[in-house]
Amino acid sequence: MINKNEFEMLCAIKDNPGLTQRELALLLDASLGRVNKVHKGLENAKLVERGTITPRGLKELEPYKVENAIIMAAGLSSRFVPISYEKPKGLLTVHGEVLVERQIEMLHEAGIEDIIVVVGYKKELFFYLEEKYGVEIVVNPDYAKRNNNSTLMRVCEKLGNTYICTSDLYLAASPFKQYVWKACYFAEYAEGKTDEWCLEIGGSGRITGVSIGGESSWYMCDLAYFDHAFSERFREILKEEYDEPQTAAKLWEEIYSDHIGELDMEVCKLERGTIYEFDSLDEMKDFDPLFLKNVDVDIFDHIESVLGCDRSEIRDVYPLKQGLTNLSCHFTVDSGEYVYRHPGVGTEQMIDRAAEVQALELGKAIGIELASTGRSIISRKGSNMQPCFWKRGRLRYPAMMS
């Protein structure tokens, strides 16, 4: 079996045949003396010949070859309202590319063709990926009542040498490789205080602890790699604990953290700005100033038509506590703060929206003002629904607005 230094050099020579040892030293950020020693050992073992990897060398790399990738795309993206009311976050276009498509293409470029996309919320919107990219779609029916541990449970038998990806990340540069030394979690460094999931790292690079929040730390970037040993033990733990009531709400990373002593995973350190995760619409706008202008969702059309504002004004968006029949979020435009109310799934069976509109119109006609603690937009979609607007308790419709 080869060691880590030999593995890294074999990979470098495979991808860059003909490099001198001095060039290899620069590529591997290693001393020339160490490179000379490792290179000589590879030549003696017939793994390298005249600066090129041999068939025997490729065979030595085979246990480290990535077999597949799992892209988790089942979640509700509840922090990304109101866009997520219509479209899953992984299907948004950022800097001209759909987030999940960009990841798939990067995986293909690394030679990883076996890709499984696990879907749940608005699952039908992802089905086109099967024909476009040849991926496998797996449906997670438990996406709304469990955390992402249910996604890995749906594909647990497919875990091996596997990348674990999240569909809504923007990867500025590809972190994917055809061969990986061992299980790892990708991390970037945060200067100063951070609310991210911070890693405690041992001398060998092994992750020894995880804490929420920290200071000047390497933090998790929602991308990981499982090797066979990690996958086998994690699968056993997941099956053992899956039906326990406290497991339902856990991220798979929490399950890993609970068993960190028996799950060997090292940190894979990335340069700052390699992976972008967007927790809010404002963060997305900062990263891609044209995002709102180009995003294709009806909700922003409603806001523009009702308030007479421009999409670029929309900011400070965050979800509010959801009611029995509606989803709501706060947002601000230049004219003030508002609440957007969106009908929840199945509410048309509980509420006659056409009758509700008529009742509001009747109340306005006889001088009854709405009781409201703020400013609200109500968007009702469907053939017998229309957007309406109330401000300081007075009901108004788009046609009435000056």
Over residues 234-250, the mean pLDDT reads: 97
| Tens-place pLDDT, residues 214-225 | 999 999 999 999
The CA-based angle 89-237-242, given to 5 degrees, is 60
| Top-confidence residue, 128 or 402 | 128
Mean pLDDT value across the chain: 85
| Tens-place pLDDT, residues 324-378 | 446 778 888 888 888 887 765 444 444 455 555 565 566 556 554 443 333 334 3
pLDDT at 388: 42
245-251 contacts at long range (C-beta below 8 A, 24 or more positions apart) = 247/149, 248/145, 248/146, 248/147, 248/149, 248/150, 249/146, 249/147, 250/147, 250/149, 251/147, 251/148, 251/149
| Tens-place pLDDT, residues 85-120 | 888 999 999 999 999 999 999 999 999 999 999 999
**CATH topology agreement for domains 4-63 and 68-276:** no
pLDDT at residue 401 above 70?
no
pLDDT at residue 273 above 90?
yes
pLDDT at 326: 60
What residues form DSSP beta bridges with 361?
Answer: none
pLDDT at 352: 53
- What class, spelled out in words, does domain 68-276 have in CATH? alpha beta
pLDDT at 282: 87
**d(Cα 245, Cα 92) in Å, to the nearest integer?**
34
What's this model's pTM, rounded to 2 decimal places? 0.84
Residue extents of the structural domains in the chain: 4-63, 68-276, 297-400
Helix (H) or strand (E) holding 292: helix 291-294
Structure tokens at 133: 């990219």
| Tens-place pLDDT, residues 156-179 | 999 999 999 999 999 999 999 999
Topology classification of domain 4-63: Arc Repressor Mutant, subunit A (1.10.10)
| Tens-place pLDDT, residues 183-209 | 999 999 999 999 999 999 998 899 999
pLDDT at 390: 41
pLDDT at 281: 86
| DSSP calls for 189-248 | EEEEEEEEEEEEE-TTSBEEEEEEEEEEEEEEEEEEEE-HHHHHHHHHHHHHHTTSGGGT
Q: How many beta carbons lie within 10 A of that of residue 366, not counting itself?
A: 6
